[in-house]
Amino acid sequence: MAAPRWKTIVERALLKDSKQNTIQLATLDRDAARFGVDLIPRVRSHVFRRFLSSPNTPSLPLIITSTDIRSAKATQLTEVSHKAELVWWLESTVQQLRIICDVYVVPSPKHPLASKFQELLLESSPSSALSIFRDKDWEADRVDLFRSMSPRMKASWCRPIPGSQLSPNENLKNWPTEIHDPAEGHSEGDKNSPEYEEAQRHWEFALENFATIIIDPLEVDYVDAKMKAIFRKKYSEDRGMIWEEEELVL
């Protein structure tokens, strides 16, 4: 049982240029009445963090990224629908993948949405990629992912709520520009200092707002535009751990 061909395509493109790690994720939003519809799509860019797959089932990879649990997308994915579509444009190889997927949000265990993820995890189909990782310590994985971020990136989870109105009295200079683990930059004797307490507060607040996003691909529409005759193919996961391939008209 091998990794799906579409995943191999992505991995080869990333080896060629690792900066092609930006994906677009579209969700559905109920805040759409002012546009005259019940639902409206919302799309935003995400940074691809890694693939996650089991050595026993390499044909069912998950895509891992991250978000701020306070963002609108977290509500859209947990209260409207966890179905979404991802688009990945690979500039160096002139290839595009559109991926229909199930998306799951993994927040801090203290967050109200944590129980929602646990329900979905327990209810996941035995043939789904998510079910393979029912026993995984997702909280430890979330913390490790947060730790892997740059100090400047960590600071982005220490700002006011994303998309909220900026108060006229808000002083952007008060926002931290970098966040470091206080345990690594201070000695035992520093723990009662104001600097340590502030660093600890920033670290805990950012980590509390940080959430892992798990993307479980269901169908992939792949276009290779570098060929003389532009090539298009669809990969559909039949939940039997096999991806069916179908050639399409462009």
pLDDT in tens, 61-70: 999 999 999 9
Q: 151: which 2 tokens?
A: 């100090």
C-alpha 161 chain-centroid distance: 18
Nearest to 239, CA basis, from 221, 214, 220, 217: 217
Q: How many CB atoms lie within 10 A of CB 162?
A: 17
| pTM, to two decimals | 0.91
Q: Which residues pair with 247 in a beta bridge?
A: 233
Q: Give the model's confidence band at 161: pLDDT under 50 very low, under 70 low, under 90 confident, else very high.
A: confident
Mean pLDDT estimate for the chain: 91
Q: Give the model's confidence band at 164: pLDDT under 50 very low, under 70 low, under 90 confident, else very high.
A: confident
Residues 112-135 pLDDT 10s: 999 999 999 999 988 889 999 999
Domains of the chain: 5-152+211-247 (2.30.110.10)
In the chain, what percentage of residues exceed pLDDT 70? Answer: 94
Task: Supply the pLDDT for residue 126.
Answer: 85
Task: Supply the pLDDT for residue 111.
Answer: 96
- In angstroms, rounded to a whole number, what is the distance separating the alpha carbons of residues 41 and 32? 9
- In angstroms, rounded to a whole number, what is the distance separating the alpha carbons of residues 26 and 36? 19
- In angstroms, rounded to a whole number, what is the distance separating the alpha carbons of residues 92 and 9? 12
Summarize the confidence of residues 128-155 as an average pLDDT. Answer: 96
- In angstroms, rounded to a whole number, what is the distance separating the alpha carbons of residues 72 and 76? 6
State yes or no: pLDDT of 35 exceeds 60: yes
Residue pair 62/214 in contact by the 8 Å Cβ criterion: yes
Residues 200-248 pLDDT 10s: 999 999 999 999 999 999 999 999 988 765 678 899 987 667 888 888 8
